């Protein structure tokens, strides 16, 4: 018998009605110093005049690893992190793996707290530091400490409490384990946070403990601190269209966008955390700005080359006697590009960009993979009176 291939419930749903949207467009120009825009820079920070240069480079997040110890002596594991602007909470995560059969590992006195700018992560913890971890000594009646989650892997996972010893440390004694211990702490963008943990092992080269954060946004999804430069735009009404105008350092360029849809976008049965944020990309964008290796020359402007603009001379006084060494006919790549994204209604979008540099040998900077964003336009949807959103 031929099966019914129609989606269950489809014949019983009422006909869908068109929904009228009223659109409003806002325009933002560099340097994007607006209350609803965050510019997050990791790769480049200089005197830009043709746009905000973005470079999408993902680097591995810093992890503190216990690799060499004096057997039986406590070692302090410590590192400082800066939360990405999307983060509101962070996992304090301790991973234990690859223990030898006869190894005994102890961990104690976990700490996570905000530290002032300029504090050296190799120094002792600052006086008066507020520990955001509710149960830093891993106390509890079972193998899983109170306020922590315990993920167990392979192995026997012998985990027992460690009472405060002569050195003043209390925590857990671990044998033959492959585990991950996690607890969450609140974080604030722009406020550096220190992660610290004491550990000791009977093995000189334990290679067993890793300490690092995982960041979470407002909806509980993970966000990356290893992603490169980006611009985050938030609006009060749902954003349905984004236009990014700029130029590549070495064309062609690309623009990527991550959108965080409003709740009404999702239907019953959707896997929200698997699909949020939604990702879009446009590549092959032509148009190039004049890089530093192209506009500086000792040739005077009266040779037919353009003089350095007064605004640039004010910013860079040393360019007063220079001129631009090319004309538009000699430099046909000059120009701009625009990437337009039509997206589901979203409260916030994150913009990444870069250059798809082919790296030809005659280029002075074949690896200059930035993209300069000069203008961003967001179009928001305002529903017509009497219409209801959602599905």
Neighbours of 220 (CB within 10 A): 12
pLDDT of res. 10: 55
DSSP at 49: S
Residues in CB range of 23: below 8 A, 6 or more apart: 240, 241, 379, 380, 381, 382
The tens digit of pLDDT for each residue in 53-77 reads: 898 877 666 778 888 889 999 999 9
Range name among 47-51, 139-143, 219-223, 291-295 with the lowest pLDDT average: 291-295
Reply yes or no on domain 16-57+227-289+335-383 having CATH 3.30.70.100: no
Higher pLDDT among residues 153 and 6, named by residue? 153
For residues 210, 224, 196, 42, the Cα torsion angle rounded to the nearest 10 degrees is 120
Asked if the model's pLDDT at residue 373 lies above 70, the reply is yes
Residues in CB range of 246: below 8 A, 6 or more apart: 51, 253, 255, 287, 336, 337, 353, 371, 372, 373, 374, 375
Which stretches of 23-120 are DSSP H helices?
none
Asked if the model's pLDDT at residue 52 lies above 70, the reply is yes
Q: Is the pTM of this model over 0.75?
A: no
Average pLDDT over all residues of the chain: 83
Asked if the model's pLDDT at residue 5 lies above 50, the reply is yes
pLDDT of res. 294: 67
Instruction: Give residue limits of the domains in the chain.
Output: 16-57+227-289+335-383, 64-223
DSSP at 102: T
Mean pLDDT of 241-264: 92
HSE-CB of 381 using CA atoms within 13 angstroms: 21
Higher pLDDT among residues 212 and 323, named by residue? 212
pLDDT of res. 390: 43
């Amino acid at each position: 018998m031929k099966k019914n291939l129609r989606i269950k419930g489809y014949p019983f749903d009422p006909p869908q009605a068109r929904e009228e949207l009223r659109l409003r467009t806002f325009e933002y120009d560099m340097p994007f110093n607006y209350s609803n825009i965050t510019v997050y820079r990791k790769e480049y920070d200089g005197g830009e005049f043709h746009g905000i240069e973005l470079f999408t480079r993902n680097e591995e997040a810093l992890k503190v690893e216990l690799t060499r110890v004096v057997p039986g002596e406590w070692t302090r594991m410590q590192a400082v992190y800066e939360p990405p602007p999307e983060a509101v909470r962070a996992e304090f995560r301790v991973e234990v793996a690859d223990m030898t059969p006869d190894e005994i590992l102890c961990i104690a006195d976990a700490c996570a707290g905000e530290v002032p700018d300029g504090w050296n992560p190799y120094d002792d913890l600052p006086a008066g530091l507020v520990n955001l971890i509710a149960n830093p000594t891993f106390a509890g009646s079972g193998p899983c400490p109170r306020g922590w989650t315990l993920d167990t892997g392979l192995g026997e996972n012998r985990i027992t409490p460690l009472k405060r010893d002569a050195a003043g440390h209390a925590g857990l004694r671990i044998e033959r384990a492959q585990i991950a211990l996690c607890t969450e702490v609140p974080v604030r963008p722009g406020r550096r946070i220190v992660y610290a943990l004491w550990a000791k092992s009977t093995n000189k080269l334990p290679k067993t403990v890793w300490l690092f954060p995982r960041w979470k946004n407002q909806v509980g999804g993970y966000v990356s601190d290893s992603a490169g430069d980006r611009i985050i735009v938030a609006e009060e009404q749902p954003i349905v269209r984004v236009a990014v105008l700029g130029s590549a350092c070495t064309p062609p360029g690309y623009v990527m966008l991550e959108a965080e849809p409003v709740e009404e976008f999702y239907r019953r049965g959707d896997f929200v955390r698997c699909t949020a944020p939604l990702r879009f990309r446009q590549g092959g964008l032509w148009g190039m700005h004049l890089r530093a290796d192209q506009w500086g020359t000792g040739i005077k402007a009266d040779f037919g080359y353009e003089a350095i603009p007064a605004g640039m001379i004010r910013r860079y006084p040393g360019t007063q006697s220079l001129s631009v060494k090319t004309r538009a006919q000699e430099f046909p790549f000059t120009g701009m590009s625009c990437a337009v994204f039509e997206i589901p209604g979203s409260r916030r979008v994150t913009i990444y960009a870069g250059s798809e540099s082919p790296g030809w040998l005659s280029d002075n900077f074949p690896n200059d993979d930035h993209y300069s964003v000069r203008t961003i336009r967001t179009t928001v949807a305002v529903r017509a009176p009497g219409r209801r959103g959602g599905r």
